[in-house]
Copies of this chain bind each other. A is one copy, B any other.
Amino acid sequence: MTTLKKVAEYAGVSTSTVSRVIAGKPYVKEETRQRVLKAVQELSYSPNILAKSLKVGRTNTIALMVPSIQNQMFPIVTRGVEDTARKHGYTVILCNTDENIEVEKEYIRKLQNRWIDGFIVCSMLPDSDHIRKLKADGFPVVLTSRYYGDSIDAVIIDNYRAAYEAVSYLIITGHKKIAIALGRRQLSLYQQRLEGYLDALKDHGLPIDERLIMNETNGTNSFYELTQKLLDGPVIPDAIFATSDPKAIVVVRAIKDRGFRIPEDISVLGIDNIEMSAFMEPPLTTVSQPLYEMGALAAKKLIDLIDHKNKSEEPPAPVVDVLETELIIRKSTARRK
């Protein structure tokens, strides 16, 4: 193991000089610099990041907390985070929480202890008070995808509006009985998407039929049964608005397996625009979220927060960034007369 000290001895200088050269600091004679660099080369020295981090009090490492990287939204967000982090010299630790608050707490407990500079949290739950506490303790935190209140920086989309516009589109294209495949209402993003759905119906003078609201019971796959039950029931929808693309996929499967055609009998519309949506049969009409940009911006904001903290500045007031969504019209929806 080559250390700074050995390099210093080898080059016949002090450790501080070597440290200066490594850090690219000024005030080193060119000749000395060359001698040190030669020593570094010959001993193939590379600095111990750990020792440095211990000394300077940060690690250039951030943690990304996601419900599960297997949810197809998050690989894209993750790339946004990682690319941005790498560009700024940061490394990313990946944490899957499986929506389990205990796992989340455990990760925070473990990582907070001075070896993570900040957190990007995609897995925020309404009762994630430990995350609020983290922020309150002055630890850099940025939320994305989900958020609750303005006390923490966040990067999100306008879920209400996304749903409102999606459902309005269905109404304008002639649909009268629009069902919704609704995610867990505890998550505010689904609550908001529900409200967008309800208000769109209301504003266009369509009645709200409780029987058309499918509430997630046991994970995304539960919509398979829920959809089939709906189709077996008294009131058959002419469109289903799925509150996420993975849900739409399950809904589509269920509809086909019951022998209905998409979009001729029933239109399906999702939210997310995950890669797969374009390759389904039929390709899915959906509302695209700028997932990569969300990750990238969240990382950028987090790094800014960390920089502030390093300069011992007061953290700026939290900002919630709302990114634009876009309705992507494909073949899973059709005009009704």
Interface set of A (CB-CB < 8 Å, partner B): 1, 46-51, 53-54, 59, 61, 64, 68-70, 72, 74-76, 78-79, 82-83, 91-96, 109-115, 249-250, 252-253, 256, 275-276, 279-281
Q: Are A46 and B91 in contact (CB under 8 A)?
A: no
Closest chain B residue, CB of each to CB of A58: B50
Residues of chain B contacted by A78 (CB below 8 angstroms): 69, 94
Residues of chain B contacted by A115 (CB below 8 angstroms): 48-50, 53
Residues of chain B contacted by A72 (CB below 8 angstroms): 72, 75, 275
Q: Are A50 and B46 in contact (CB under 8 A)?
A: no
Closest chain B residue, CB of each to CB of A282: B281
Please report the C-alpha to C-alpha distance between residue A157 and residue B69 in the assembled complex, in whole angstroms. Answer: 23
Please report the C-alpha to C-alpha distance between residue A253 and residue B283 in the assembled complex, in whole angstroms. Answer: 10
Please report the C-alpha to C-alpha distance between residue A78 and residue B49 in the assembled complex, in whole angstroms. Answer: 25
Please report the C-alpha to C-alpha distance between residue A269 and residue B113 in the assembled complex, in whole angstroms. Answer: 49
Please report the C-alpha to C-alpha distance between residue A75 and residue B109 in the assembled complex, in whole angstroms. Answer: 25
Q: Are B70 and A114 in contact (CB under 8 A)?
A: no
Q: Are B48 and A113 in contact (CB under 8 A)?
A: yes
CB distance from A19 to the nearest CB of B (A): 15
Pick the contact of A70 from B75, B93, B256 — CB < 8 Å?
B75
Residues of chain B contacted by A46 (CB below 8 angstroms): 109, 112-113
